[in-house]
Amino acid sequence: MTDYTNYTDTELAVLLKESDHKAYAVIYERYKFLLYAHAYKKLQDREEARDVVQEVFITLWNKRVSIIAQSNLAGYLYTALRNTILNLFARKEVRTRYTDSMAAHFSYDYSPTDHGIRGQQLAALIDREISALPAKMQEVFVLSRKQHLNRKEISLQLGISEATVDRQIANALKILRTRLTLVAYLLVLFNI
C-alpha cells in the first residue's frame, strides 16, 4: 500500500486524473482546512463555508479528467473556491431580490379599481347610517360635517342653542361610531 502523503501536488494531480481515490483523499486532507479558513473569512458562516468547500471538492472529482492542475493544484483549488463563493453571492443576491419583490407584491396588494369600489361602498354605507339618524340629529350632523358650518352658524340657522348643537353632534358621532365599528369589523373579518 502506497503512502501518498509525501507526494507533491503535481504527482497527486496526475494520479487524480487517473481517478485514483487515494490521491483524491490526500488532496482533500491537505487542503480542506486551508480552503475552509479562507471560505469562512469571506462568508462569516460556518455552514456555508463547509458547503462551499465540499462543492469545490465535488467539482474537483467530477472534473478530474479535464482539469489542468498539475502545475499549480493549490492555485486551481483557490480559484475554484473563489468562483464558488462568487456564485453563492450571486445566488443570494437573486434570492434576496426575488424575496423582496414577492414581499413587496404581497404587502402592497393594491388595486386602484378595488380601492375605489370599496371607498364608494364605505361612503354609501356612511350616508345610509347618517340618514338613519333621528331627523333633527341628522340635520345638525349634515350641517356640521358635510356643509362645514360651525356650531354658532348651525344654532342660528336652526334656532337652537349651541349646547344643543354640541349634544346632537356628540350623540350622532356616538351612534355612527358604534354602527360603523361593527360594519368595519365585519368588513375586515370577511375581507369584503
Quote the domain boundaries for residue 85: 4-107
* Whether residue 173 sits in one domain with residue 127: yes
Q: Is 150 helix (H, G, I), strand (E, B) or coil?
A: coil
CA distance 106 to 146: 36
Of the pLDDT bands very low, low, confident and very high (cuts 50, 70, 90), residue 58 is very high
pLDDT tens digits for range 140-186: 888 888 888 888 888 888 889 888 888 888 888 888 787 777 666 66
One-letter amino acid at 104 equals A
Domain boundary among 65, 85, 107: 107
Instruction: Specify the residue for cell string 453563492.
Output: 88
pTM of the model: 0.52
Domain check: are 103 and 120 in the same one?
no
Q: What is the pLDDT of residues 164-173, one digit of tens each?
A: 888 888 888 8
Q: Final residue of a domain: which of 92, 107, 122? A: 107
- For 75-123, the pLDDT digits (tens) are 899 999 999 999 988 888 887 877 777 766 665 555 566 667 777 777 7
How far apart (Å, rounded) are the C-alpha atoms in residues 53 and 32?
Answer: 7
